Amino acid sequence: MSLPRFEDAEELGPEDAEFVRDLVAVLAKHGNLGRFGLCLLHDHFPIAADEVLVETNDPRTRTLHARVEKADRTPHSKASQWRFVSHTEVERGAQGGGGGYRVIQLCTPLDLCPGRDQE
């Protein structure tokens, strides 16, 4: 399933109140309320199935940077964002942990992120 461009992606709004309450209840039930959140899925540019978005940061300048890398060649290893996929996509071989999701962003909080040595 393709994602909408950022300009066209619909924000969370008052009509989503019941959805948010249900989501908060599920996260709380599993002890994950302080672990996971919600992000607006959108597309700025195409990312191939064998690629992943990689986030790096510079705490000194308080900036985040994202770039596309080949998933099997990136030294980054800690997933930071996931996209839920339908059971149909899982059955068709979508990437993921077998639990109905696909990793869409990585970051390694060690010395691969610029500025880490200043902390």
Does residue 108 carry a pLDDT above 90?
A: no
Residues 35-85: tens digit of each pLDDT: 999 999 888 898 898 998 998 888 888 888 899 999 899 887 788 888 888
- Picking from 1, 119, 103, the residue whose alpha carbon sits closest to that of residue 54 is 103
Q: 28: domain range?
A: 1-44
Pair (68, 117) in one structural domain: yes
Q: Are residues 112 and 58 in the same domain?
A: yes
- Beta-bridged to residue 70, according to DSSP, are 51
User: What are 51's strand-pairing partners?
Assistant: 70
- Asked if residue 32 and residue 55 are part of one domain, the reply reads no
Tally the domains of the chain: 2
Kindly state whether residues 82 and 33 are assigned to the same domain.
no
**Whether pLDDT at 25 is above 70:** yes
Answer yes or no: do 59 and 104 share one domain: yes
Q: What is the DSSP letter of 26?
A: H
**The 101-106 sheet, strands edge to edge:** 63-70, 51-58, 101-106, 79-84
- Give the number of other CB atoms < 10 A from CB of residue 10: 10
User: Is 116 in the same domain as 68?
Assistant: yes
Q: E-strand spans in 5-100?
A: 51-58, 63-70, 79-84
Tokens for 80, please give them. Answer: 């930071």
Residue range 15-21: mean pLDDT, rounded? 96
The answer to whether residues 52 and 65 belong to one domain is yes
* Model confidence pLDDT, tens digit, residues 93-107: 444 455 788 888 888
pTM for the whole structure = 0.70
Are 3 and 16 found together in one domain?
yes
104 three-state secondary structure: strand
Average pLDDT for the chain = 82
Dihedrals phi, psi of 54, to nearest 5 degrees = -120, 130
pLDDT of residue 109: 61
Domain co-membership, 75 together with 102: yes
